[in-house]
């Protein structure tokens, strides 16, 4: 399964793959010195950010087939097999969506942050490292933690 074919939907947020259409807003977030420091990131140009997004979606080391056992809806998938060892998701606030959620549409208007998921232990598909970036702190800061702790 391709990384771009997985969306995870919870009660209040939806995690979608980091798409090209997300790059300008993501780049805007990453102009904030506090956010750069908090994420250990270096400032990038918009062109560099587009290149990074493309490299993340085409990274051959991120296409291992692992099983994701979570109580969530996995869109565009017949099972819970998820084809990645690492994945960057953009987090969408459902209350900010314009219209209905459609898998594959970027819904830039609803972006509030991102989640990086690393399946570091290939022998234990239930173990993952998660990095959460809250770029829009005024929007449901607690949702990110609740999303992971309460199984959405």
Report the C-alpha gap between 115 and 65 in whole angstroms.
Answer: 19
Burial call 15-53: b when 16+ CB within 10 Å, e when fewer: bbbbbeebbebbbebbeeeebeeebeeeebeeeebbebb
**What does the pLDDT look like over 34-55, one tens digit per residue?**
999 999 999 999 999 999 999 8
Asked if residue 128 belongs to a domain, the reply is: yes
Asked if residue 72 belongs to a domain, the reply is: no
Asked if residue 73 belongs to a domain, the reply is: no
The range of the structural domain enclosing residue 12 comes to 8-59+85-139
Asked if residue 66 belongs to a domain, the reply is: no
Q: Is 48 helix (H, G, I), strand (E, B) or coil?
A: helix
Q: Is 14 helix (H, G, I), strand (E, B) or coil?
A: strand
Asked if residue 33 belongs to a domain, the reply is: yes
Number of domains in the chain: 1
Q: What is the CATH number of the domain that holds 25?
A: 3.40.630.30
- What is the arithmetic mean of pLDDT over 120-144? 76
Could you tell me which residue, 117 or 16, shows the higher pLDDT?
Answer: 16
């Amino acid at each position: 399964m391709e990384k771009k074919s997985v969306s995870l939907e919870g009660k209040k947020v939806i995690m979608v793959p980091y798409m090209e259409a997300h790059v300008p807003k993501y780049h805007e977030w990453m102009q904030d010195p506090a956010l750069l420091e908090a994420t250990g990131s270096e400032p990038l140009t918009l062109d560099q950010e587009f290149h990074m997004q493309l490299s993340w979606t085409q990274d051959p080391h991120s296409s291992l087939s692992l099983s994701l056992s979570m109580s969530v809806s996995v869109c565009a998938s017949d099972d819970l097999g998820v084809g990645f060892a690492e994945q960057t998701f953009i987090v969408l606030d459902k209350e900010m969506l314009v219209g209905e959620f459609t898998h594959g549409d970027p819904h830039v208007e609803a972006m509030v942050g991102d989640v990086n998921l690393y399946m570091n232990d290939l022998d234990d598909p239930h173990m993952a490292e998660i990095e959460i970036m809250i770029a829009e702190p005024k929007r449901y800061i607690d949702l990110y933690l609740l999303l992971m702790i309460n199984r959405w």
